[in-house]
Structure 1
């Protein structure tokens, strides 16, 4: 067993399973997908640490256990078409192991190219990486059964709502309260019903915050 393979196994056994992640598809994916392939080279040594990692100013990738629990909350099925909105593509790579089709929406072209190369290097053929504003989603491949947002949100952008299929789900980390919570929005009759999950925190993604009036003296 290679050193990184052992690190992945240890991550699953010490971080993921003890965090009530019972979906074996997720633990299996995390055992084989190299997280370091989706991170800047300078962070490779921290790939399996139990913490979120800042990959650029204002941009973070979620801690492995938080990401695993968020994916579990989405209850992804094998026929699902999934949009993963994030910063690096690791979450999309994990989801690709048990969903039919995956789109990884990343903030810039360089990130998308890096993720696409990592997909290819790991034999992932059912996922594509694209770039654009997070809040705009990716309508070209919509509608989605699941939209997985790897970051903090205060609201679901109007541009994204039509891209969620009827009876589809959007999962993210709500940051409206001082104590953040993972949440699932289930679309029924065009209305999004909220279900709260576990406590978690994350940096807000651009376009998912509530606009507030500027303070004026």
Structure 2
């Protein structure tokens, strides 16, 4: 199977057509071998427009959602990035290739172990993987230029905004099924923040996220 050709086709048919014209992002997604990050049983679906199961009830984002996330964070080579939810490690790899350093946390140690191996095979060395429950305990110590939250929350969690440096950006999906809002939060130099809804989607809950009283997920 010519995975490089299929990867290019994914970018042209799924990513570019979703108003993602940036050459840097398109080249990145043409280059990173997504098939190396999906579970073996789903290797042939690596570039399909679907959410691939990872175990523990978790799934990879749709490729086009990953593309919009990367686009919305406006990453620069000097940025320090936090990823909440390592998952397959694919998005971790993309973030690491766009930024200076990435801290990626997950509550599942087997996800972290697998991601460490996969990132190593890609010679990606600017990622620190940590076992951490960000929904329960908040983000790990530090301040970040950009934060990507890969599981949904009922509403914006201001603990994540507090972990942003002035000028920082947060990508987060909020709301309830069937329609949620993908949001970018920006923090100004004075510490004030504003949010912008960028598209509608649906995303599995971040594990251990607090739900409103009486709500059943």
TM-score in terms of structure 1 length? 0.88
Match runs of 1:29-178 below 5 Å: 29-86=28-85, 87-135=87-135, 136=137, 138-140=139-141, 142-176=142-176, 178=178
**Structure 2 counterpart of 1:3:** 2
Cα deviation per residue 1:55-80 (whole Å; 9 max; x = unaligned)? 22431110101110121111112211
**Structure 1 counterpart of 2:185:** 185
Distance 1:7 1:98 in 2: 23
**Structure 2 counterpart of 1:199:** 200
The answer (yes or no) to whether the contact 2:183–2:197 under 8 Å persists in 1 is: yes
| CA apart distance, 1:19 | 1.0
| CA apart distance, 1:106 | 2.2
Distance 1:117 1:201 in 2: 29
SS in 1 for 2:169: strand
Number of residues paired by the alignment?
Answer: 213
**CA 1:66–1:77: 2 relative to 1, 3 Å:** same
| CA apart distance, 1:22 | 1.5
| CA apart distance, 1:145 | 0.5
Distance 2:186 2:68 in 1: 17
The answer to whether 1:210 aligns with 2:202 is no
SS in 1 for 2:155: coil
Instruction: Show structure 1 runs of 5+ residues with no match.
Output: none
The answer (yes or no) to whether the contact 1:179–1:201 under 8 Å persists in 2 is: yes
The answer (yes or no) to whether the contact 2:80–2:101 under 8 Å persists in 1 is: yes
Distance 2:107 2:35 in 1: 19
The answer (yes or no) to whether the contact 1:52–1:60 under 8 Å persists in 2 is: yes
**CA 1:158–1:198: 2 relative to 1, 3 Å:** closer
TM-score in terms of structure 2 length? 0.88
**CA 1:3–1:159: 2 relative to 1, 3 Å:** same
> How large is the RMSD of aligned CA atoms in angstroms?
2.1
Cα deviation per residue 1:160-212 (whole Å; 9 max; x = unaligned)? 34322122111112224752221011123334311110121111112444331
